[in-house]
Amino acid sequence: MADLLIRNATLPDGRTGVDVLAADGRIVNVARAIDAAAATTVDAGGRLLTPPFVDAHFHLDSTLTYGLPRVNESGTLLEGIALWGELKPQLMQDAVVERALAYCDWAVGRGLLAIRSHVDVCDPRLLAVEALLHVREKVKPYLDLQLVAFPQDGVLRSKGALDNLKRALAMGVDVVGGIPHFERTMGDGARSVRVLCEIAAEEGRLVDMHCDETDDPHSRHIETLALETERLGLQGRVTGSHLTSMHSMDNYYVSKLIPLIVEAGVSAVANPLINIAIQGRHDTYPKRRGMTRVPELMAAGVTVAFGHDCVMDPWYALGSADMLEVAAMGLHVAHMTSQAEMRACFDAVTVNAARILHLDGYGIAPGRRADFVLLQARDPVEALRLRATRLMVFRGGRLVAESPPAVATLHLDGRPPRVDWTRPA
């Protein structure tokens, strides 16, 4: 007998009345009216069953440190980096582990079962690296954690950072990171991209750089990143995170840049909550939004994901591992309000992000891992509108989290007693 049978689900691609059968941690059948029995049967009642949420860009070493040792008063990226620099020498490994595990619990409760986290390698103790490697093992049964060796203070600018980064990779960190716009000059930024891509090519690693996270329209490291990707044969393995300078760039230049990004097979991650909060801080009015050109990149065929980036840390005071909140902010900032565009924003926190992480066995199809989330919503657009409750979260066919449906009990004469904000049938 199979382990789990979900009856009458709606899938993100629009299929309705679908049953999903799982055994030994894998999906064995996805069809209407499956004739089989299982140890556990769940009636989805026509609600949306989605593959888990995936966060393509996060910082698990700084999460939940908000207020330590003080808060970011200016709200800028640069004060955030300075503040993190104050906190770094005081970090204790146990505390980093504890906070990261607490965040992973939040994530599982929200149906977020895969996270790519950058980890700062500029502290020569590599204390955060050790902490997050430990966390990666600890959460493995229920959450895929991918780590990026991230030289927060600049791989060339910060003494010893290049060696630290290589040590972190040798210790088991997965992906090569970078931050070219924080190097001292444009030239150094370009050189850092070259050096880091060469390391990735030699070691067969993926690349994910914080790239052009600035309002400066002349910050063009994404161009170098795309060119180096092509030169080194890294197509499909490289991601540019943030790319906020593209918001402010000259349109003619962008018309030449996007085809280069496509040609190089470079993916993009926008971080809507952080980009809208941090960018444009030097503007008076009008204030720029500062998020990269998401619909234009998607239309050209670039894989674009939305990341959460920060939760309660030196850069951002809010957040709760809710990728629907991230996607909802993304669609507002990018004016992506048509039905197709809103669905694309849902993809940006599920299937697109999974592609960027090169996640194995992702998706609701036979042979894939039995990971999925039952939402209190009828379709992806309703899920975004309601930041829908994750009724049940499954990992390998096993229930790992559940939440009661969000409802209000009304005390109004002549009205139905309960309201749940889903679209009336």
Interacting residues of 137 by C-beta distance below 8 A, sequence separation 6+: none
Smallest separation, CB 233 to Zn ion (Å): 26
DSSP result, 151-218: -TT-TTTSTTHHHHHHHHHHHT--EE---GGGSSSHHHHHHHHHHHHHHHHHHT--EEEEE--SS-TT
Q: Which is nearer to Zn ion, 201 or 270 (CB)?
A: 270
Where do contacts with Zn ion occur on this chain (CB under 5 A)?
309
Task: Give residue for tokens 């197709």.
Answer: 340
Q: Which is nearer to Zn ion, 59 or 395 (CB)?
A: 59
Contact 325, 273 (CB under 8 A): yes
Separate counts of helices (H) and strands (E) for the chain: 14, 18
Q: Which is nearer to Zn ion, 152 or 389 (CB)?
A: 152
Which stretches of 179-322 are DSSP H helices? 186-203, 221-231, 245-248, 251-264, 272-278, 294-300
Interacting residues of 169 by C-beta distance below 8 A, sequence separation 6+: 149, 176, 199, 203, 205
Q: Which is nearer to Zn ion, 3 or 309 (CB)?
A: 309
Smallest separation, CB 242 to Zn ion (Å): 7
DSSP result, 2-48: EEEEEEEEBPTTS--SEEEEEETTEEEEEEES----EEEEEE-TT-B
Within 13 Å and on the Cβ side, how many CA atoms surround 344? 21
Q: Which is nearer to Zn ion, 174 or 309 (CB)?
A: 309
Smallest separation, CB 274 to Zn ion (Å): 7
Exposure letters 69-103 (e unless 16+ CB within 10 A, then b): eeebeeebbebbbebbeebbeebeeeebbebbeeb
Q: In the numeric block, which tokens belong to residue 341? A: 């565009």
Q: Which is nearer to Zn ion, 19 or 120 (CB)?
A: 120
Smallest separation, CB 248 to Zn ion (Å): 19
Task: Give the span between the Cα atoms of 402 and 109, in whole angstroms.
Answer: 7
Smallest separation, CB 179 to Zn ion (Å): 9
Task: Give the span between the Cα atoms of 53 and 347, in whole angstroms.
Answer: 9
Task: Give the span between the Cα atoms of 210 and 152, in whole angstroms.
Answer: 9
Query: Choosing from 79, 137, 213, 223, which is the catalytic residue?
Result: 213
Contact 205, 177 (CB under 8 A): no
Smallest separation, CB 409 to Zn ion (Å): 41
Q: For CA atoms 126, 131, 132, 134, give the dihedral sign.
A: positive
**402 noted as active-site residue:** no
Smallest separation, CB 4 to Zn ion (Å): 36
Q: Which is nearer to Zn ion, 229 or 241 (CB)?
A: 241
Interacting residues of 67 by C-beta distance below 8 A, sequence separation 6+: none
Q: Which is nearer to Zn ion, 42 or 91 (CB)?
A: 91
Q: Which residue is nearest to Zn ion (CB)?
A: 309
Residue 395: left if φ>0, alpha if ψ -120 to 50, beta else—which one? beta
Smallest separation, CB 286 to Zn ion (Å): 26
Q: Which is nearer to Zn ion, 19 or 309 (CB)?
A: 309
Smallest separation, CB 388 to Zn ion (Å): 26
Interacting residues of 292 by C-beta distance below 8 A, sequence separation 6+: 242, 243, 244, 246, 247, 268, 270, 275
Catalytic residues: 213
